[in-house]
Structure 1
Amino acid sequence: MAAVRLAVRRLLTDLPAAGPVLVACSGGPDSLALAAATAFVAPRLGRPAGLVTVDHGLQPGSAERADAVAAWARTAGLDPVEVLRVRVDGRPGGPEAAAREARYEALVEVARRHGAAGVLLGHTRDDQAETVLLALARGAGPRGLSGMPERRDLDGVPLLRPLLDVARDDTRSACAALGLDPWSDPHNTDPAYARARVRADALPALVAALGPGVVANLARTARLLAADTAALDALADAALADVRAGDEGLSVDGLAALPAAVRTRVLHAWARELGAAPAALSQRHVAALDALVTGWRGQGPVHLPGGRPVRRHAGRLLG
């Protein structure tokens, strides 16, 4: 319990914005331990704290479980407490992505309504290690290997993860120490989901082969890469301004003079400016744009997601 409370105290102490914090709580051990720690720490720091639980309606008994989490939160002194019912059907992507999108939309809406300083999420160090392994399996670059950020602003609402340096076993132990009975999401053990397979098989195999420190090391790798990625992104922002050729696209010579790590970030950002959807813009598209700069053989235009062409003409990339 001390480890979870200390993590929450550090975050709330460093949180400059006024207003309450809201804990997103599913009733699982991680978010339940986070909610209990926040209920203990926040009043001692003079910070109002509430709880939000989202009912996706995907499993039998989900409505009753959400109501039970809300009832517990009120007894713990959290205020406001809200149960949000969301619809997942009809959204694009797989069930996990659709549920995540619906959940975050609901969290942003309730945070704005209450003027919240941020929404606290219960992802742990183990979750971060799993994220890094999944990114490695996809062949992700530094951004993917950076894992989940400690803070992400979504439509102006800070999403905060205070437990990224806390082990999952600590959240379970905290719940046991407080006499809390967390819910076990069956999706977390369903082998149909890649993350469940990583959790049940891949990560334990790495721990058995390399020792228990592998989880913390994977999480530390994400933290180090996140710092490097932020620095490269800042360089790319400045470089994009430097290589603009007025309203006539980007200077090929200016792009060619940039280090590859910066140039590809510039091209990625520019493609998004041209209207390419971030979810559809892949490394393949950026590599094709880069080839217009570094591997020019007179090739035709690159078609970005959405169909917009980018071509090279008179020393410029034009979109």
Structure 2
Amino acid sequence: MGVSGGADSAMLLVAAAQLAAQTQQTVQAVHVHHGLLADADAWAAHTAQLARDLGVAFHLLPVTVASGTGKGTEAAARQARYDAWQRWSQDNHCHHILLAHHRDDQAETVLLRLLRGAGVQGMSGMAAQTQRGALQLYRPWLDVERSRILAAAAGYEAQTGWIPVLDPTNLDAKYTRAAVRTLLTPVLNTRWPQWQGNLLRHARVMSENTLLLQDLGELDLAHCQLTPNGLSFSLARWRELPRHRQANVLRQWLRRQHIAMPTEARLNQWLRQLREVHALGHDRNILLQHQGCHIVCRQGQVQLQMNDGV
């Protein structure tokens, strides 16, 4: 499981280690070292100590956080973390990772996505189980309030003396999530004390709507004569669909290949170009690039090409 050394992941590791011992299973602690703060080495050593205390194997994954991507340090660090987990899972043939996101994290995520103008799928929040390639990510504590986790951490400290690390960036308002936590959350807690529950109910509704859109996308992909390998479909059949369903087909097509969704602006650009191709009555040299793959039109088919070709 992913362990930062903070109270949330530390207590999940404690719980997972206890459950693993009872069921004769194996759990391993994976710590991503971003190298962004001076205390990073000390945090890694402190987290390793917790793993030793629990009799759990500890794995340190140093990463380099990309700069100059235009996405910010938070997004770059998150991408580096997920990439490191995927590499580690492949190297160690372990394709299941537990993450300690909790109820408060989920509420913050939904609020952030609302502020960023996310669509239906984004507003459904973090899923309890997601897949990135062969890697399965599990978030078993999405319904657990952080106050319960902090109480457990205090109890564990009283028993063992081990204290969770405190990441100062979690309270530094120059970071987006920390700004929500330090500036918006106190106001919301005072003015609308039930805001988290309301947002989480909204997220559940959006999750159900997401499933409906995915079901419709599958039906429409079948109408578009999706090939058995899932990499191409008929442009003419796609053009027969209502325009709003054309967009949903593209999203579902990418989702099937575990490819991140494009921005609204990029998706609208794709839609325009694909509609023009058909309107002209013949294929043009169209090449849409996204997430390490290409979308092309050939012989009346919309095709998805990975780096190594179709």
Opposite residue 38 of structure 1, the aligned amino acid is A
Deviation at 1:96, TM superposition (A): 1.4
- Percentage of pairs with the same residue: 33
In structure 2, what is the Cα distance between the partners aligned to 1:203 and 1:130?
Answer: 8
Deviation at 1:305, TM superposition (A): 4.8
Q: Secondary structure at the match of 1:32?
A: helix
Q: Secondary structure at the match of 1:251?
A: helix
Residue in structure 2 matching 1:150, options 106, 128, 135: 128
In structure 2, what is the Cα distance between the partners aligned to 1:148 and 1:84?
Answer: 24
Deviation at 1:227, TM superposition (A): 2.9
Residue in structure 1 matching 2:116, options 138, 142, 146: 138
Assess, with a 3 A threshold, how the Cα gap between structure 1 residues 249 and 74 changes in structure 2: closer, same or farther: same
Residue in structure 1 matching 2:235, options 249, 255, 275: 249
Assess, with a 3 A threshold, how the Cα gap between structure 1 residues 132 and 271 changes in structure 2: closer, same or farther: closer
Give the structure 2 partner of residue 201 of structure 1. 183
1:64-143 equivalent positions in 2, closer than 5 A = 64-78=42-56, 80-90=57-67, 92=69, 93-143=71-121
In structure 2, what is the Cα distance between the partners aligned to 1:304 and 1:272?
Answer: 17
Opposite residue 284 of structure 1, the aligned amino acid is A
Q: Secondary structure at the match of 1:158?
A: strand
Q: Does 1:34 align with 2:12?
A: yes
Assess, with a 3 A threshold, how the Cα gap between structure 1 residues 73 and 318 changes in structure 2: closer, same or farther: closer
Deviation at 1:44, TM superposition (A): 1.1
Deviation at 1:243, TM superposition (A): 2.5
In structure 1, what is the Cα distance between the partners aligned to 2:252 and 2:125?
Answer: 20
Gaps of 5+ in 1: 1-22
- Answer whether contact 2:106 2:126 (CA < 8 A) is retained: yes
- Answer whether contact 1:251 1:317 (CA < 8 A) is retained: no
Q: Secondary structure at the match of 1:152?
A: strand
Deviation at 1:165, TM superposition (A): 0.5
Residue in structure 1 matching 2:207, options 222, 226, 230: 226
Q: Secondary structure at the match of 1:51?
A: strand
Q: Secondary structure at the match of 2:89?
A: helix
Opposite residue 143 of structure 2, the aligned amino acid is D
Opposite residue 241 of structure 1, the aligned amino acid is A
Give the structure 2 partner of residue 267 of structure 1. 250
Shifted more, 135-144 versus 237-246: the winner is 237-246
Assess, with a 3 A threshold, how the Cα gap between structure 1 residues 56 and 245 changes in structure 2: closer, same or farther: closer
- Answer whether contact 1:255 1:293 (CA < 8 A) is retained: no
Q: Secondary structure at the match of 2:240?
A: helix
Deviation at 1:117, TM superposition (A): 5.0
Deviation at 1:125, TM superposition (A): 0.6
- Answer whether contact 2:14 2:54 (CA < 8 A) is retained: yes
Deviation at 1:252, TM superposition (A): 5.4
Q: Secondary structure at the match of 2:148?
A: helix
Deviation at 1:318, TM superposition (A): 6.6
1:148-187 equivalent positions in 2, closer than 5 A = 148-179=126-157, 180-187=162-169
Give the structure 2 partner of residue 286 of structure 1. 267
Give the structure 2 partner of residue 24 of structure 1. 2
Deviation at 1:89, TM superposition (A): 4.0
Q: Secondary structure at the match of 2:100?
A: coil
In structure 2, what is the Cα distance between the partners aligned to 1:202 and 1:30?
Answer: 21
In structure 1, what is the Cα distance between the partners aligned to 2:210 and 2:240?
Answer: 22
In structure 1, what is the Cα distance between the partners aligned to 2:254 and 2:39?
Answer: 45
- Say which structure, 1 or 2, has more relative contact order (CA 8 Å, 6+ apart): 1
TM-score scaled by length of structure 2? 0.79
Deviations along 1:192-215, one digit per CA (max 9) or x if unpaired, are 11111111121222221122x321
Opposite residue 216 of structure 1, the aligned amino acid is G
Deviations along 1:24-82, one digit per CA (max 9) or x if unpaired, are 1111111111111111122112221111111111111211220121122111122x211
Q: Secondary structure at the match of 2:5?
A: coil
Deviations along 1:276-305, one digit per CA (max 9) or x if unpaired, are x746x222343455568999xx89x99855
Deviation at 1:87, TM superposition (A): 1.5
Q: Secondary structure at the match of 1:52?
A: strand
Deviation at 1:263, TM superposition (A): 3.5
TM-score scaled by length of structure 1? 0.77
Assess, with a 3 A threshold, how the Cα gap between structure 1 residues 44 and 244 changes in structure 2: closer, same or farther: same
Deviation at 1:223, TM superposition (A): 2.9
In structure 2, what is the Cα distance between the partners aligned to 1:318 and 1:52?
Answer: 40
Opposite residue 86 of structure 1, the aligned amino acid is V
